[in-house]
């Protein structure tokens, strides 16, 4: 049973992420403003993390300099506030299925940003390097397929009104204006993932000067709460949009703020410790599968052939990059084990 725990954990993690897209989309369909939703979500996460951070790390945390604080402020603005706000707008324009599909782009986007910042190498003369490059191109093809191709439509068994708010607003239809809103949503979703990937890469640099991970995360959530409130109050002045009752809105806020931030972050850290980050990354397609089925059944969303084909291309591209990364790591480990005179000095790789 012990050997099965990491597999059960990644299934639970991806199921939680699928639920995040579903309840967020359902709340937006019910009329909740996406900017207000992000504020409440971050406030809930802050209420959870700040007491834990003070209890576990306050005494051992290093001093927080003004320069490090400014870096953390910018990280929270780019990687959390703007990423979540843009993602919320994209979900309004598109669907939960697209949101789940584009998460498969995240490891590829993160790798590409790391290459641009010279934190990763792309050796084009090796099999591993070519696998990474092919994976990036396939991912790009998948993103374009999601944006510009719909194809035949499929509709599964639907449980009507299960996740629907009584007060619903008219949302932009993905098919209106010859798909302009859908394309706009795809581009915004891609932009959100770019900000998220940039956040993941830059976090490693900031953690070198401020290694208290829990306090670092709690501070980002706190700053993001203030940032998202400033944006939300500037966009939405209707008091009804700020009201939370015992309804789907409260469920969505509590789920995304507490379950996703609290439970998922812990489970991901445990899985990475047990099996490594590659094992966790390879489980991300489960998120898409869960979301496609649940959004069709619970949200009554129509599945298009373009969404399925684009999602499949993203998954293939993801596995291509991960395979190249694993092979490259094994080659480097083998070279370190060999004596120095056994390493071929004449082989030069093109490093981008």
Cα separation, 103 vs 282, whole angstroms: 12
pLDDT category at 168 given cuts 50, 70, 90 is: very low
Instruction: Classify residue 59 by its DSSP letter.
Output: T
The more confident residue out of 227 and 122 is: 227
Count of domains for the chain: 1
350 in a domain, yes or no?
Answer: no
Percent of the chain with pLDDT strictly greater than 90: 21
Question: Which of 183-192, 246-255, 263-272, 286-295 is least confident?
Answer: 263-272
Q: Does 302 have pLDDT greater than 50? A: yes
Q: Does 306 have pLDDT greater than 50? A: yes
347 in a domain, yes or no?
Answer: no
303-304 and 153-154 strand pairing: antiparallel
Tens digit of each residue's pLDDT (9 = 90 or more) over 238-283: 888 898 888 888 999 999 988 987 788 778 878 877 777 767 777 8
17 in a domain, yes or no?
Answer: yes
What is the pLDDT averaged over residues 310-339? 79
Question: Which of 1-10, 28-37, 148-157, 185-194 is least confident?
Answer: 148-157
pLDDT category at 156 given cuts 50, 70, 90 is: low
348 in a domain, yes or no?
Answer: no
The more confident residue out of 19 and 160 is: 19
Which of 189, 190, 260 minimizes the C-alpha distance to 13?
Answer: 260
- The answer to whether residues 330 and 131 touch, using CB atoms and an 8 Å cutoff, is no
Can you say whether residue 177 is alpha, beta or left, with left for phi > 0 and alpha for psi between -120 and 50 degrees? left
Whether pTM exceeds 0.75: yes
351 in a domain, yes or no?
Answer: no
Q: Does 20 have pLDDT greater than 80? A: yes
The more confident residue out of 148 and 167 is: 148
The domain containing residue 185 runs over which residues?
2-342
So what's the pLDDT on residue 219? 92
pLDDT category at 140 given cuts 50, 70, 90 is: confident
352 in a domain, yes or no?
Answer: no
- The answer to whether residues 35 and 229 touch, using CB atoms and an 8 Å cutoff, is no
pLDDT category at 226 given cuts 50, 70, 90 is: very high
What is the pLDDT averaged over residues 100-123? 79
Average pLDDT value for the chain = 81
Q: Does 347 have pLDDT greater than 50? A: no
Q: Which residue has the tokens 């590829």?
A: 108
Q: Does 33 have pLDDT greater than 70? A: yes
Angle between helices 180-209 and 213-235 (to 10 degrees): 140
Q: What are 351's strand-pairing partners?
A: 123
- The answer to whether residues 102 and 252 touch, using CB atoms and an 8 Å cutoff, is no
What is the pLDDT averaged over residues 210-218? 86
What is the pLDDT averaged over residues 5-22? 89
The more confident residue out of 21 and 338 is: 21
- The answer to whether residues 84 and 39 touch, using CB atoms and an 8 Å cutoff, is no
So what's the pLDDT on residue 157? 65
So what's the pLDDT on residue 240? 84
Q: Does 204 have pLDDT greater than 70? A: yes
Q: Does 175 have pLDDT greater than 80? A: no
So what's the pLDDT on residue 223? 95
110 in a domain, yes or no?
Answer: yes
Tens digit of each residue's pLDDT (9 = 90 or more) over 58-105: 888 888 899 999 999 999 999 899 999 999 999 988 888 888 888 878
292 in a domain, yes or no?
Answer: yes
So what's the pLDDT on residue 208? 82
So what's the pLDDT on residue 169? 47
């Amino acid at each position: 049973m012990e050997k099965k725990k990491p597999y059960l954990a990644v299934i639970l993690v991806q199921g939680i992420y699928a639920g995040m897209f579903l309840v967020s989309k359902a709340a937006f369909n019910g009329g909740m403003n996406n900017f207000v939703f992000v504020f409440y979500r971050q406030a809930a996460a802050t209420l959870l993390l700040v007491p834990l951070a003070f209890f576990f790390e306050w005494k051992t945390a290093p001093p927080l300099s003004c320069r490090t604080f400014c870096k953390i402020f910018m990280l929270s603005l780019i990687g959390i506030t703007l990423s979540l706000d843009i993602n919320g707008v994209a979900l309004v324009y598109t669907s939960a299925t697209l949101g789940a599909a584009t998460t498969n782009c995240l490891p590829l986007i993160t790798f590409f940003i790391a290459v641009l910042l010279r934190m990763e190498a792309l050796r084009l003369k090796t099999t591993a390097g070519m696998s990474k490059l092919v994976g990036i191109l396939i991912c790009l093809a998948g993103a374009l397929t999601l944006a510009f191709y719909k194809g035949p439509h499929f509709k599964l068994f639907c449980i009507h009104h299960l996740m629907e708010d009584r007060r619903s607003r008219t949302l932009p239809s993905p098919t209106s204006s010859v798909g302009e809103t859908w394309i706009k949503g795809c581009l915004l979703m891609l932009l959100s993932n770019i900000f998220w990937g940039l956040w993941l890469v830059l976090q490693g640099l900031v953690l070198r000067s401020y290694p208290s991970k829990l306090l670092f995360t709690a501070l980002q959530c706190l700053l993001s709460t203030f940032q998202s409130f400033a944006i939300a109050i500037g966009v939405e002045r209707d008091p009804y949009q700020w009201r939370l009752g015992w309804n789907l809105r409260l469920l969505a806020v509590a789920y995304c703020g507490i379950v996703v931030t609290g439970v998922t972050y812990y489970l991901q850290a445990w899985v990475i410790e047990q099996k490594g980050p590659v094992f966790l990354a390879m489980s991300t397609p489960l998120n898409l599968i869960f979301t496609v089925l649940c959004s069709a059944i619970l949200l009554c969303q129509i599945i298009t052939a373009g969404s399925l084909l684009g999602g499949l291309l993203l998954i293939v591209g993801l596995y291509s990059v991960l395979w190249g990364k694993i092979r490259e790591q094994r080659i480097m480990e083998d070279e370190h084990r060999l004596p120095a005179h056994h390493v071929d000095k004449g082989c030069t790789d093109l490093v981008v």
